[in-house]
Chains A and B, each alone.
Chain A
Amino acid sequence: MDYTVSFFMLGEVARLTVAAIFALAAFHAMREWTVFGGIVEHYRIVPPGLAWIFARILPPLQWVAAAALVLPTASRAGAVLGLCLMTLFTVAIIVNLARGRMSIDCGCGGASGQKLSMGLALRNLVVMVGLIMAWAAPPQGAVDGVTACGVICASLAVIALYFAANQLMTNFQALYAVSSRSPS
């Protein structure tokens, strides 16, 4: 078994998956700028006056990271930018978890209703591992059809898995909110 090829394929899958995640997050945030601005403000990491500037800067940066990750020539730069963004998001989440502010909207997909949790921080760490893999994977020239097909299929499966996991996390929080409200 050729480990270089396996590692390359893993890196490619990570690259395409994280690009899709960033692009969708940016799409949701830009669809509702005002709400996203409110969410950034509620994190209380930056002063309220600066929050809207951050809310205007972050989604375009996510687009840039996504686009760079897709382009083979710029993917390493995209991975570095992505890592910086993910570090920023994760630190913001952990700081608010430490403050005990679990009830604020994470803003992961606009106003998705997903609240902050340790699971969210862990999810971000997994994405960051993906970015490191995308950065470290050895570059490969032209690939054959089987490899390309494998990479694309695996990316599609992992992207769907990521969103399924995300949805299950949101469901868990909603279920917990419902059961804790009912008299039992």
Chain B
Amino acid sequence: MTALAMSNVLLWITNIALVVTVLALARQIGMLNERVTPVGALTMDHGPKAGEAAPVFNLPRLDGGEIAVGTATGRTQLLFFLSPTCPVCKKLLPILRSLSQHERTTVDVVLASDGEFDEHSRFYQREKLAPLPYVLSTDLGMAFRISKLPYAVVIGPAGLISAKGLVNNREQIESLLIAQEMGVASLQDYRTRAQKR
């Protein structure tokens, strides 16, 4: 009986250890997949680089009128690419709203997407996005080679792209603006410069 109980205990220990190992392995594969995906996106990232002139567009705003994107306006433009079907984009909307309020003297926030006018118009009203400009343009997304959302591009006062990247939270949006202030294109750029010094 003691031997039977002992073997039972040992079996449970090994069983749980094995299942936990399987879980850990599956988790690791999942994390590898997450890392592989942005690499795939990066190789497709042939869009205009930081420091280059931004492509210029004159686009109709969802709430009427027109807006120039990428021109040298003397102000910083934060182009935010989003979609109504992206939950993380939605999480960032209040952050963008407060950012456009706090930085209204220097930064213009422009929301960009593509698709049907009606669907976006409803989304614009429902999320109370006024007075932020919202443009619909497939060409704009193509010009910047946007492959993943939410994506943000910071265009400097002279019409040059100063920073861009996939953003998932407030810190990452702010990092793009800070990168512009510091004159670095990205975290990678900052690190390479720091290493050279």
On chain A, the residues within 8 Å of B36 by CB distance are 178
Prevailing SS type, chain A contact patch: helix
Considering the complex, which residues of chain A in the window 103-141 have a beta carbon less than 8 Å from any beta carbon of chain B?
104-105, 111, 113
Query: How far apart are the CA atoms of A156 and B155 in the complex, in Å?
Result: 52
Q: Which of A30-38, A75-83, A89-97 contacts B (4 or more CB under 8 A)?
A: A30-38
When A34-B91, A39-B87, A171-B30 are in contact, do A160 and B19 touch as well, CB less than 8 Å? yes
Q: Is the interface of B mostly helix, strand, loop or mixed?
A: helix
Give the Cβ gap from B158 to chain A, nearest Cβ, in Å.
Answer: 35
Q: Would A167 and B30 be within 8 Å (CB), given that A48-B126, A146-B5, A153-B12 are in contact?
A: yes
Chain A residues near B30 (CB-CB < 8 A): 167, 170-171, 174
For residue A116, give the distance in angstroms from its CB to the closest CB of chain B: 13
A105→B88 CA distance, assembly (Å): 11
Give the docked Cα–Cα distance between A48 and B128 (Å). 14
**B27, B34, B40: the one within 8 Å of A181 (CB):** B40
Complex Cα distance, B23 from A38, in Å, reads: 29
- Flag if A164 contacts B16 (CB, 8 Å): no
- Residues of B near A177 (CB, < 8 A) are 37
13 additional contacts (CB under 8 A) given A111-B87, A167-B23, A174-B37: A32-B91, A35-B87, A35-B88, A35-B90, A38-B86, A42-B87, A104-B85, A157-B12, A164-B19, A164-B26, A171-B33, A174-B34, A178-B40
